[in-house]
Structure 1
């Protein structure tokens, strides 16, 4: 059997539902590229590959109607020899490169189990080039005795570049206003551009209109959340309402959407009847608006947003802090909800939810073989502190409408109310595990000290007596995912830590660890949809100990609560304050499905109920000294 051949990701007998929106929904319960091979017919090599060149080479050699992948070889050390008669010299836009159709599979498979860490600096540079070409690496394989790396790449439905390569929205220079008697220069904050919105909409539309079959629109993959259809209506409604708050104009039609789609639910896990203020939704399926009506509304609201950008670019409307915050908040809100909807849909992956359209199913056997060779940390734990750490940043929404600050947007980074203001905290010395608790470690714990005390994680599922780990491509054997971080509730992971003689870190402690050793998308981390599943953590070995936590959020023992000078948001009333209830824990980090605008800002704080088992949150153990 060729381990590079993808097989069906779903064994579900769920009926294949037709599409509900014109040309916008997948008509198969499987990925578009299901069954396609990961052994490309063309391999290319150049000693100097730029993103632009890689894009052009992919366009030239890949016919999406026949094949969707390309083999790309990057040098790690030295230069690949192309004198064996199999390589052919070609030119493109004045650049020389080499191609071959010689089947390299045998050479590749001989070293396929060798682990190639994405966070190793040379590999991270290769992946960055691939990312900036709007391509994605499906698998990386050692080539030429490790002197080179072969990447099997595809052009997925969407990609997100790292923040360093993502420009902020710019007001034309001749329209720049004067702020605090100082002429504004080019903006360097985090106001999204329309191009960023287009990327986000591509992701949102793929998830909502191609991964959710029509028969699931009125279903709840998680009982504690709304049905799927609610979220498809909620996102444009939230954008419409905040645009109204910021620039006026009233509701887009149908206006009653503001009543049913304004806000979702987060009921108490142990008392579902207790819930914060939220929208009153229809009780009967037939009383909900149709998907076609929602999509028409969505398109109208998006046009409204584009018109605002047009007004800002022409000078018809002046960019203020209030408008800038609205653009940032609505963009990031949609990013949050992509992840929320996906962790809901994960519960039905393989039994309803379709795999991500336009992304090739992972070569699980090859990847798991590589993951089994990941080096352990060079030391069991790392000692941190004592030291001071700065939490948060200075970004008070209360200043937005003051005349002295109204136009103060230059170099300003906008965030959520619980991120502000900056505050310094002293942290005593402590030790931390280099890597989060893994599936394998947690399974062993469940069979011993945790037996009868903790429940099986919701990120797992038992099929025919076998424990499997849920992925968006369907459940996979635990053996494939044994070194991934385990995703489960704070309560269960806290009990695990206690039984090990440790505890879960406070927010300041985890912030220190992440600041010191965690890397971002540009350095090879598994965020921003680099993969559609967690990967093993890599911190603690080489690269000064720096690495990725595998693409997860991490629990802290810090409860979400107010702090000195916190100014609650008026744009999104109750965003944080509704959850100062002694039930929500602060989580830090980012998952594989967290957009770079959120994953790349160190002050971002997420939060979930301590006994909520569904989100993509793991934990590492720390120890007092």
Structure 2
């Protein structure tokens, strides 16, 4: 596990890419994903239980990323299949329903042993494809090289979305695998023991411009990142760091989960009635009525000064309770420009931030040994991604083109049931860590490695 992988093909100009670098990047991504799943006990119970009411069992996600490689490489004309047509077809697409009852009938799944054997076959198929794929300085929308890069970056996405699911497994069904990064040991003893900075910092706003209008780019892009958005951002104030676990506790103790007027996102009623436990899924309620932190593999004393990890429903409800708003996509770019000089400057410093699985958890906001602050002291890069104010949409009017290799990646999710994320969490790898370029998105009800950055109008 190489962490961020600075020479990843997705983050460099493709004219400099060698076949050996591509093979290393694939292998590192593949092995990191498998390392995560080796932490799941090798049993049908572990892999076939549904830990989240709106997600499939873990055995599907173990098979899915391998099937995705095969199907996209087939579509690009690079391979004929894996030799396991049933797995190739059945595991390519999952189900992301709005109602838990839609998954009730999906009970037949292959054994973990069969899926691990399938992954071994697919790995050989992909390595063979890397030996034959035409390399080029740009990637056309249907090119074999783009299909290969898409498979790698798709697995980086599923690494990120599988972590919150494995977090929900009972402790007896998982154990931190060898080579997995440890949770950071820097925990405060009680809420408010080391009170975070409560101030709001002025952001001057100004013109922002982001996106990529080129159909053939010299770097990998998802379809929702193609296009151009330009805006003039009005001055605003932003909290100097994401909301912490300690600050979110105040929302809980004030009855935030019972106050229906705060829950304004699409689907919030269903979330509260059928999914919510009255606290974030990264928290565990103790017998004494307190809370512990639920790590991916280990539960620990609550780190009150770490950023809270929540769903979009919870992020918006907290912002409403606090009399503030989530940061918007345009504001995020204005803040990125002001605090760090923009996208390219952040990319040059990416190894300074808590991204790329250098650690197995977030770290303390501001003032901690690992904090990297902007020019005006704002701590907002790394640790957790950030839920944005925006529903997920295309970048610009008329500029969106459906991906010919993956037509249902973005367009089906445009709308109020899906939120947009910016920044990068501690587990963001590859293109997921291309801050200001990657436009991540997720359904409102999914708890992600994502937090809350509040804004208010300028004074």
Deviations 1:401-425 (A, max 9, x none): xxxxxxxx6xx11211100112212
Please point out which of 575, 584, 587 is paired with 2:418. Answer: 584
* Matched position secondary structure for 1:389: strand
- Larger gyration radius, structure 1 or structure 2: 1
Residue in 1 that maps onto 2:280: 457
Bigger relative contact order (CA 8 A; separation at least 6):
2
Aligned in 2, Cα 1:449/1:249: closer, same or farther, shift over 3 Å?
A: closer
1:367 & 1:213 partners in 2: Cα distance?
A: 32
* Matched position secondary structure for 1:512: helix
1:253 & 1:476 partners in 2: Cα distance?
A: 44
Deviations 1:191-216 (A, max 9, x none): 96111111112211111233343230
Deviations 1:535-589 (A, max 9, x none): 1223796865264545111111111123321001111121111112321111111
Moved more, 431-440 or 522-531: 522-531
- Asked whether the equivalents of residues 556 and 588 of structure 1 are also in contact (C-alpha less than 8 Å), the reply is yes
1:392 & 1:522 partners in 2: Cα distance?
A: 19
Residue in 1 that maps onto 2:269: none
2:29 & 2:89 partners in 1: Cα distance?
A: 25
Residue in 2 that maps onto 1:207: 36
Q: Does 1:196 align with 2:25?
A: yes
Aligned in 2, Cα 1:547/1:499: closer, same or farther, shift over 3 Å?
A: closer
Aligned in 2, Cα 1:318/1:534: closer, same or farther, shift over 3 Å?
A: closer
* Matched position secondary structure for 1:583: strand
* TM-score (norm. length: structure 1): 0.62
- Asked whether the equivalents of residues 260 and 282 of structure 1 are also in contact (C-alpha less than 8 Å), the reply is no
1:273 & 1:516 partners in 2: Cα distance?
A: 46
Residue in 1 that maps onto 2:383: 551
Q: Does 1:350 align with 2:171?
A: yes
1:357 & 1:561 partners in 2: Cα distance?
A: 40
Unmatched runs of 5 consecutive residues or more in structure 2: 261-277, 341-345
2:138 & 2:210 partners in 1: Cα distance?
A: 28
* Matched position secondary structure for 1:205: helix
Once the two structures are TM-superposed, the CA of residue 274 in structure 1 deviates from its matched residue by 6.7
Residue in 1 that maps onto 2:308: 486
Aligned residues: 425
Unmatched runs of 5 consecutive residues or more in structure 1: 1-157, 171-183, 276-280, 401-408
Q: Does 1:236 align with 2:43?
A: no
Aligned in 2, Cα 1:430/1:274: closer, same or farther, shift over 3 Å?
A: farther
- Asked whether the equivalents of residues 205 and 235 of structure 2 are also in contact (C-alpha less than 8 Å), the reply is yes
Once the two structures are TM-superposed, the CA of residue 243 in structure 1 deviates from its matched residue by 0.5
- Asked whether the equivalents of residues 195 and 305 of structure 2 are also in contact (C-alpha less than 8 Å), the reply is no
Residue in 2 that maps onto 1:467: 291
Aligned in 2, Cα 1:376/1:540: closer, same or farther, shift over 3 Å?
A: farther
Aligned in 2, Cα 1:511/1:185: closer, same or farther, shift over 3 Å?
A: closer
Residue in 2 that maps onto 1:603: 437
Aligned in 2, Cα 1:282/1:570: closer, same or farther, shift over 3 Å?
A: farther
1:617 & 1:338 partners in 2: Cα distance?
A: 14
Once the two structures are TM-superposed, the CA of residue 453 in structure 1 deviates from its matched residue by 2.5
- Asked whether the equivalents of residues 385 and 449 of structure 2 are also in contact (C-alpha less than 8 Å), the reply is yes
Deviations 1:129-174 (A, max 9, x none): xxxxxxxxxxxxxxxxxxxxxxxxxxxxx222453x546799xxxx
More helix by percentage: 2
1:220 & 1:242 partners in 2: Cα distance?
A: 27
Aligned in 2, Cα 1:161/1:447: closer, same or farther, shift over 3 Å?
A: closer
* TM-score (norm. length: structure 2): 0.82
1:542 & 1:505 partners in 2: Cα distance?
A: 16
Q: How does 1:527-566 map to 2 (within 5 A)?
A: 527-538=355-366, 545=377, 547-562=379-394, 563-564=396-397, 565-566=399-400
Residue in 1 that maps onto 2:457: 624
Q: What RMSD, in angstroms, separates the aligned Cα atoms of the two structures? A: 3.4
2:106 & 2:374 partners in 1: Cα distance?
A: 56
- Asked whether the equivalents of residues 241 and 379 of structure 2 are also in contact (C-alpha less than 8 Å), the reply is no
Deviations 1:239-268 (A, max 9, x none): 000000112543222211233201112212
1:607 & 1:347 partners in 2: Cα distance?
A: 21
Aligned in 2, Cα 1:298/1:340: closer, same or farther, shift over 3 Å?
A: same
Q: How does 1:20-99 map to 2 (within 5 A)?
A: none
* Matched position secondary structure for 1:308: helix
1:543 & 1:372 partners in 2: Cα distance?
A: 26
Deviations 1:7-46 (A, max 9, x none): xxxxxxxxxxxxxxxxxxxxxxxxxxxxxxxxxxxxxxxx
2:49 & 2:361 partners in 1: Cα distance?
A: 24
2:322 & 2:180 partners in 1: Cα distance?
A: 39
Residue in 1 that maps onto 2:114: 293
1:167 & 1:238 partners in 2: Cα distance?
A: 19
1:526 & 1:320 partners in 2: Cα distance?
A: 30
1:491 & 1:294 partners in 2: Cα distance?
A: 34
Deviations 1:446-476 (A, max 9, x none): 2125263373111111121331121023222
- Asked whether the equivalents of residues 554 and 617 of structure 1 are also in contact (C-alpha less than 8 Å), the reply is yes
- Asked whether the equivalents of residues 423 and 435 of structure 2 are also in contact (C-alpha less than 8 Å), the reply is no
1:436 & 1:566 partners in 2: Cα distance?
A: 31
